[in-house]
Amino acid sequence: MTTASVIAPAERAALTAGAGRHGKLYWALADAWVLCWRNIVQLPRMPELLVFSIIQPVMFVLLFRFVFGNAIQVPGGNYVNFLMAGIFVQTVAFGSVGTGIGLAEDLHKGIIDRFRSLPMARSAVLVGRTMSDIIRNGISVAAMLIVGLLVGFRPDNTWWAYLAAAGLLMLFSFAFSWISAVIGLSVKTVEAAQSGGFIWLFPLTFCSTAFVPLDQLPSWMQGFAEYQPVSVTVTAVRGLTMDYPVGNSAWLSLAWSIGILAVFVPFAVRRYRRAAAR
């Protein structure tokens, strides 16, 4: 062991001189960015997460494209063009479960004590996590797009429309991450965050227009399926990437996402305060 005098408090003033130079908002964003960076750096080191966010949706693409797809009649006749919007939305919905799992891990594996003993913004743990999960979901969607193109998906619209579709998807992903955050912060174990995070997504994604046109769903389900957030987002993304009618679905999706954020952001913040205070 060396005896370099590396711990002289005289250095301290120089090290922390920058802290006073910026306002609260600057540091709230900077701290969130540090944690976002940390979550992104972790990603390639968690192979099980990669399986979740890439391989599972790829299986769905292949399964629906080559197995179930032949049995489903869609307007326009080309199932893969109908399918991909559903896959994109399902991918980000399932991907949002990672938000809750990540927060549960932070809370139950001790690192939260480190964060709470540092002079960082309280909001950074939540904001950093939801930010990095947008990026993670973006990577998954890009991977799905490539797989889709390989199995015959041919988007057909303007770049503006694609951009709008990407924007809606990202907002939807962000909104669902906050729902997942509330679940992850409310449960006692990481495993519970995992199962609790998925369970409600199955009815939501399968009782929707993600894989089957509305009129082929059981009639009692149609009322729910038509207006729920997954369906309206799928319809909007489908219309913005292909020649399908968008109608008011883009506005409905926007309204759902904003509405979810308005409810679940404050809810998650309260949960976080309670969970971290122990």
Partner 1 sequence: MTTKPAVLAEGLHKSYGKTHALRGLDLTVQAGTVLGVLGPNGAGKTTAVRILATLLTPDSGHAEVAGFDVVRQANKVRAAIGLAGQYAAVDEYLTGFENIEMVGRLYHVPRAACRRRADELLERFDLVEAGGRPVKTYSGGMRRRLDLAASLVVSPPVLFLDEPTTGLDPRSRLSMWEIISELVREGTTLLLTTQYLEEADQLADRIAVIDEGLVIAEGTADELKSKVGGDHLEIVVRKGGDLAAAARALRPHLCAEPDIVPELRRVGGPVPGGAALLPEVVRALDAAGVPLEDLSVRRPSLDDVFLALTGKKTSTDDVEKEAA
The reply on whether position 111 binds partner 1 by CB under 8 A is yes
- Residue closer to partner 1 by CB (options 85, 120) is 120
Pick the stretch among 103-111, 148-156, 197-205, 221-229 that binds partner 1 (CB under 8 A): 103-111
Return the number of the residue (18 or 223) whose C-beta is nearest partner 1. Answer: 18
Cα–Cα distances in angstroms (integers) from residue 62 to residues 91, 121, 178, in the given order: 14, 44, 29
CB 155, min distance to partner 1, A: 36
68 makes contact with partner 1 (CB under 8 A): no
243 binds partner 1 (CB under 8 A): no
Closest-CA residue to 91 (of 178, 6, 211): 211
Q: If residue 162 lies in a helix (H) or strand (E), which one and from where to where?
A: helix 159-186
Q: Which residues are CB-contacts of 198 (< 8 A; sequence separation ≥ 6)? A: 94, 97
Distance between first and last Cα of the chain: 38
Interaction between residue 25 and partner 1 (CB under 8 A): no
Which CB atom, from 154 or from 274, has the smaller least distance to partner 1? 274
When asked if residue 30 is in the footprint of partner 1 (CB under 8 A), the reply is yes
Query: Per CB under 8 A, which of residues 35..54 are in contact with partner 1?
Result: 38, 41-42, 45-46
Span 187-206, contacts to partner 1 by CB under 8 A: none
Stretch that binds partner 1, among 33-41, 161-169, 202-210, 267-275 (CB under 8 A): 33-41
119 contacts partner 1 (rule: CB under 8 A) = yes
Q: Which range touches partner 1 (CB under 8 A), out of 25-33, 147-155, 157-165, 249-257? A: 25-33
**Alpha-carbon separation of residue 270 from 63, 122, 178, 277 (angstroms):** 41, 12, 12, 11
CB of 187 to partner 1, least distance (A): 20
What contacts 262, CB < 8 A, 6 or more positions away? none
- 19 contributes a contact to partner 1 by CB under 8 A: yes
DSSP line for 117-142: TSSS-TTHHHHHHHHHHHHHHHHHHH
Please report whether residue 11 would count as binding partner 1 according to CB under 8 A. yes
Q: Which of 63, 109, 146, 189 binds partner 1 (CB under 8 A)?
A: 109
Listed residue (126, 42, 59, 63) closest to 94, CA to CA: 59
| Part of the chain binding partner 1 (CB under 8 A), chosen from 9-17, 152-160, 236-244, 256-264 | 9-17
For the residues of 16-72, what is the DSSP string, one character each?
Answer: TGGGGGS-HHHHHHHHHHHHHHHHHHHGGG-HHHHIIIIIHHHHHHHHIIIIIGGG-
DSSP state of 247: T
Residue 273 interacts with partner 1 (CB under 8 A): yes or no: no
Residue whose C-alpha is closest to residue 92's, from 139, 32, 33: 139
Binding site for partner 1 (CB under 8 A): 1-9, 11-12, 14-16, 18-19, 27, 30-31, 34, 38, 41-42, 45-46, 109-120, 124, 277-278
